[in-house]
Amino acid sequence: MKKTLSLLILSSLFSCNNNDDKADGYGNFEAPEITISAEANGKLTSFPIEEGAILEPNTQVGLVDTIQLYLNKQQLIASRNTIFSKSKNVLSQDQVLQEQLKTTLIEKKRIENMFAENAATKRQVDEVTGKVNVLKEQIKSVGTQNAPITNEAKSIDVQIEKIEDQISKSKIINPIKGTVLAKYAEPNEITAFGKPLYKIADISEMTLRVYVSETQLPKIKIGQNVTVKIDSGTKMTNYTGTISWISSSAEFTPKIIQTKEERVNLVYAVKVKVKNDGSLKIGMPAEMWINK
């Protein structure tokens, strides 16, 4: 009887240790997390987002005070208008000289024709030629006067563009669709360039990073569907996952994954994409089962 009881106990132990009752991989869920930082210095005049909120991409979620930048821009615009008025005066002089040169060239042509017919003197030809040369030099001088004015206007335009870029960066634009995981600032706080404002991640699809042994590698491939299980009270909840990446090199089993005896084993990291129904969280442990 004792012998029969011992055989039953041993049989029970072997059945409990059967590899078919173990998952093919263990790991934790993760998602790419992005920390959004300020790109301007000043007071947060608006920052209404809250943790857990779902944000759309390319939407404004806050604003850093831009009053000083706006006033500097208006000052530069006024300076540019003053410079343009100077340039207009110079250009008007150029137009007057151009008209005078046009008239003088007509006169020069007429006198040269008269001189060819002995109806004008050489002195008259020289005088009109001199007038033409003087006018050309005056036009050249006016053009030289306008060059530094034009360069000054271009310099102010660059400064205005710089301020417009600073104003644009004062707007806090959310880059991706995702859920706000953490908020590091509040409205009316003073922020600075590079200071973190909030952390966001797209958790609509989670990545389960698991580790499998070398003997399991031939059973999996990229694009293959697997079953992912998480704890849900007294039972397990199943999800369908798709293998998206398999490591090409082995590594030691992470301490958080396996028992002390199994940590010395070399394993391969595998990423499994899983659609999130709202129950999956970053860092949550899960199991991967290869579909038979």
Handedness of CA 123, 125, 127, 133 (dihedral sign): negative
Q: Indicate which CATH number applies to the domain containing 48.
A: 2.40.50.100
Residue 231: strand pairing partners: 236
Same domain for 215 and 197: no
Q: Is 99 exposed, middle or buried (0-12, 13-18, 19+ CB in 10 A)?
A: exposed
**Distance (Å, whole) CA 172 – CA 164:** 15
**Distance (Å, whole) CA 278 – CA 288:** 19
The domain in which residue 259 lies consists of 24-32+204-290
Q: What is the pLDDT along the chain (292 residues), one digit of tens a residue?
A: 334 333 333 333 333 334 456 888 889 999 999 999 999 999 999 999 999 999 999 999 999 999 999 999 999 999 988 887 777 776 777 787 788 888 888 888 888 888 888 888 888 888 888 888 888 888 787 777 777 878 888 899 999 999 999 999 999 999 999 999 999 999 999 999 999 999 999 999 999 999 988 888 899 999 999 999 999 878 899 999 999 999 988 887 665 555 445 555 788 999 999 999 999 999 999 999 998 7
Q: Helix or strand or coil: residue 32?
A: coil
In-domain check, residue 1 = no
In a 13 Å sphere around the CA of 1, the CA atoms on its Cβ side amount to 0
Q: How many domains does the chain contain in total? A: 3
Handedness of CA 238, 243, 244, 249 (dihedral sign): positive
Q: Indicate which CATH number applies to the domain containing 73.
A: 1.10.287
